[in-house]
Structure 1
Amino acid sequence: MNIAPIYQRKDWNALSEEAAAAILQHVTATQLPGFSISRFERFHKFDQDTYTAILTFQGREFVFVPGDTVVLGLDQWHVPAATREDIAGLMETSPAEVDAYVLERLSPLRTVTISPMVVARTVSETGYYWVELTDERLLSDPDFERALQELKATSREKYTYIVNASFRLEKNGATITAFLYEPATYEELVQTVTDSGFRLPTEDEWEYLCGGGTRTFYPWGNQLNEQQVYRHFSADRDSTLPYFLDTPNHFGLVIANNPYHYEVMMDSEWFLKAGDGGCNICGGGGLHLGYLSVGTYFRDPGIFDEDLSYKDEITGDYTFVRSIKRLQ
């Protein structure tokens, strides 16, 4: 079967849904052992459209993403004057210095060819792994019994309790689940992922997955839509409605939706993307400054801070991974 359309989006998008489905069934059967197609779906968001397959592997959902040759990066930052002035006020600086601040944090313009791939639809946490509530390592922790009783006593239906990063308890109704924390270096984390038969995205791949090659700061444009609701800034929202960025994008991925969540890259100098660990929000940065870090082409230079030592312990509450598998 001719699978050439999977390498260029314009060719992929020109296929009928029947032809696209047949190719994806063939690719799954020949290149993706252990994967199964659960359904086909068309995603439309931010003026981009993709017909694709939702696949499952060991209980996790993946989505097929066609390859392409695209321009990534930015050398300009177009933003309304009011937004620039708002950020300048929060930073106690001038609008011109805000421009300089953002421009030095943009990835450079470059043309890249991205391989087709299957991609985990959501990120996975790092460092925590499930254990029984009777695990001796929990029972020997001096904080465990107190935390367990407090969690049982809370009236909240769902609640997460983290204690000194050594363990985490989650309540869902009457069920309480425990997770122990085990640190890992950057090299150890990448090795664990590759040993499982997957890899992590490069910075180029991540920017493509996030923005699809759009020439704007965010996938949808150059400013936030203040009519939408965003995590950490919508305490009074209707809890039955999802946050704006928590719904699947044009590839069917939930990506760059939370400034507190870094995603780990591999084979790239900039090894963390998608956020700033919540630094700007915690510093009182407000919506516009707080959400700069989820911009498609934003780079956080703080990841190279020697005092933070990210690569010595890359796991934890602020770093997440997204497994991908390139197709041939």
Structure 2
Amino acid sequence: MEAWNRPRWGQLTVEEKMHTMQEVLKQLPAGFKWLRLERFERYGQSLETGVFLYEGSEYVFVPGDSVTLGRSEVHMYAKMSPVREAVIGPLLVQRQPVSAGWYECPLDRLDAEEDEDVFEAIEEFRQGPHTSYEYSQSFRLERDGDQVVVFLFDDSESFGEWRETELPEGFTLPTEDEWEYLYGAGVRTLFPWGDEIDTSMRLRHVSGSSEANAEDPYPLELPNAFGLCFPGDPYKKELVLTEGGITGKGGDGGSNLHGGQGVDLGYLPTATAFRDPYESELEWEDLLDCLVYRRVVRL
């Protein structure tokens, strides 16, 4: 429908948008509920769009558009997706990404015998000063006040096996084209906010980058003009589909930053078109450790 494309969508009245959202609702998998119209603004752009709810997670309607993606310049420390024209269809998109490799496990679901090592680690963790503890690709403990929250690592051996449990019928992952459109919100700068990393911003993993309150959200994690949140964290990648299979976007697993290459190069992987040149060397389990994902519904 023409109204589901971004140029026309911006011309609709509130009443017309509400009507269109009811048409969208008819196409969605069972379980979706309509919530509201909301306007999102970021980096000089704005979009008033529909917000839906599915199993406790909010999803937003993102109208389609014809866009230019990729970067033409070559960077000695990075590989970028090529410049290309793409037609992006309308999507319903999960607002917040979730971990692909780690899931919360209530204590009462652990087995006293099989998970004896986890219980021992919990007791030791309770007495210690740390806020987080991870046993590589097995379990992770997080402190939440007086409580200890346990996360277990996903035991899938391939993307195909993982997809069977995490993507119900009617849901999929964004393609690389779709992800770059969603992340950059259609802008042509290197990053969604411009062509440089502002080192005065409060950034994860960068000590002293800002004097902001530690409880405040990191600027790169705030909703963009489509109402979508991204990690803004080079240690994480978002799982997307490619013609050849899958890839991770938005980070490099922390390789540059952990390798001591400084803030500018360390955060270069958060560029919209960035492709990790070393990702092919990783096994599924290693990639899964740093992956997040979001579900989308193509309309």
TM-score, length of structure 2 as denominator length: 0.90
8 Å contact from structure 1 (residues 256, 294) kept in 2: no
Q: In the TM superposition, what is the alpha-carbon distance from 1:110 to its structure 2 partner? A: 0.9
> In 2 relative to 1, CA 195–241 (structure 1 residues): closer, same or farther, beyond 3 Å?
closer
> Structure 2 matches for 1:1-328, cutoff 5 A?
3-6=1-4, 8-76=5-73, 99-102=75-78, 105-137=79-111, 139-141=113-115, 143-154=117-128, 159-184=131-156, 185-235=158-208, 236-269=211-244, 271-305=247-281, 308-309=282-283, 311=284, 314-316=287-289, 318-327=290-299
Cα deviation 1:232-261 (Å, max 9, x = unaligned): 114553123211111100101112511111
Q: In the TM superposition, what is the alpha-carbon distance from 1:141 to its structure 2 partner? A: 4.2
Distance in 2 of aligned mates of 1:239 and 1:245: 14
Distance in 1 of aligned mates of 2:31 and 2:110: 34
Cα deviation 1:129-182 (Å, max 9, x = unaligned): 3434244546434532332123322467xx332223211223212232323223
Q: Percent identity over the alignment? A: 36
Q: In the TM superposition, what is the alpha-carbon distance from 1:53 to its structure 2 partner? A: 1.7
- Read off the aligned partner of 2:68 and give its amino acid letter: V
> Helix, strand or coil: the match of 2:220?
helix
Report how many aligned residue pairs link the two structures.
Answer: 295
Distance in 1 of aligned mates of 2:128 and 2:285: 36
> In 2 relative to 1, CA 76–176 (structure 1 residues): closer, same or farther, beyond 3 Å?
same
Cα deviation 1:275-308 (Å, max 9, x = unaligned): 0001111111221011100100111111112xx3
- Comparing 250-259 with 183-192, which one deviates more in the overlay? 183-192
- Read off the aligned partner of 1:242 and give its amino acid letter: P
> Helix, strand or coil: the match of 1:76?
coil
Distance in 1 of aligned mates of 2:137 and 2:28: 39
Distance in 1 of aligned mates of 2:216 and 2:134: 26
RMSD (Å), alpha carbons: 2.2
Unpaired runs of 5+ residues, structure 2, are none
Q: In the TM superposition, what is the alpha-carbon distance from 1:68 to its structure 2 partner? A: 0.6
Moved over 6 A (4+): none
Distance in 1 of aligned mates of 2:68 and 2:155: 36
> Helix, strand or coil: the match of 2:274?
coil
Unpaired runs of 5+ residues, structure 1, are 78-98
Distance in 1 of aligned mates of 2:251 and 2:277: 11
Q: In the TM superposition, what is the alpha-carbon distance from 1:271 to its structure 2 partner? A: 1.3
Cα deviation 1:187-225 (Å, max 9, x = unaligned): 222333444431111100000001122111101211112
Distance in 2 of aligned mates of 1:217 and 1:130: 35
Task: Tell me which residue corresponds to 1:87.
Answer: none
> Helix, strand or coil: the match of 2:291?
strand
